[in-house]
Structure 1
Amino acid sequence: MYKEFLFHLPNDIGKLMQLAAEIRQLKEYEDLSPKTQYVLDLALEEMATNIIKYGYDEPGTRTIEISVGFNQKDLRLVLSDDGHEFNPLEAQAPAEAGIEERDIGGMGIYLTRNLVRSMEYERKENRNVLSICIDKE
Structure 2
Amino acid sequence: MGEKKYNFNVRSEMSKIDAFSAKVSEIVRRCMGNETGFRAGLIVIEACSNIVKHGQLTEEDLISVSLAIGENEVVITIEDTSREFNPLEVDDPNLENIELLQQGGMGIYLIKRFSRKAEYSYVDGRNILKITI
Alignment TM-score > 0.5, same fold: yes
TM-score, normalised to structure 2's length? Answer: 0.89
Alpha carbons 2:88, 2:120 under 8 Å: kept: yes
How far residue 99 of structure 1 moved from its aligned partner, in angstroms, is 2.0
How far residue 39 of structure 1 moved from its aligned partner, in angstroms, is 1.0
Q: Which amino acid aligns with 2:131?
A: I
Alpha carbons 2:22, 2:41 under 8 Å: kept: no
How far residue 24 of structure 1 moved from its aligned partner, in angstroms, is 4.1
How far residue 33 of structure 1 moved from its aligned partner, in angstroms, is 2.2
**What are structure 1's unaligned runs of at least 5 residues?**
none
Greater per-residue helix proportion = 2
Q: Which amino acid aligns with 2:9?
A: H
- CA distance 1:46–1:101, shift in 2 (3 Å): closer
Alpha carbons 2:12, 2:58 under 8 Å: kept: no
Q: Which amino acid aligns with 2:18?
A: M
- CA distance 1:100–1:54, shift in 2 (3 Å): closer
* RMSD value, Cα: 1.8
TM-score, normalised to structure 1's length? Answer: 0.86
Q: Distance in 2 between matches of 1:83 and 1:101?
A: 26
Q: Which amino acid aligns with 1:49?
A: S
Partner of 2:13: 12
In the TM superposition, structure 1's runs of 4+ consecutive aligned residues that sit over 3 Å from their partners are 100-103
Secondary structure of 1:39's aligned partner: helix
Q: Distance in 2 between matches of 1:112 and 1:35?
A: 14
How far residue 30 of structure 1 moved from its aligned partner, in angstroms, is 1.2
1:28-67 matches, within 5 Å, as: 28-56=28-56, 59-67=58-66
How far residue 109 of structure 1 moved from its aligned partner, in angstroms, is 0.5
Secondary structure of 2:98's aligned partner: coil
Partner of 2:70: 71
Partner of 2:92: 93
Q: What is the percentage of aligned positions where both structures have the same residue?
A: 29
Q: Distance in 1 between matches of 2:118 and 2:95?
A: 23
**What are structure 2's unaligned runs of at least 5 residues?**
none
Secondary structure of 1:123's aligned partner: strand
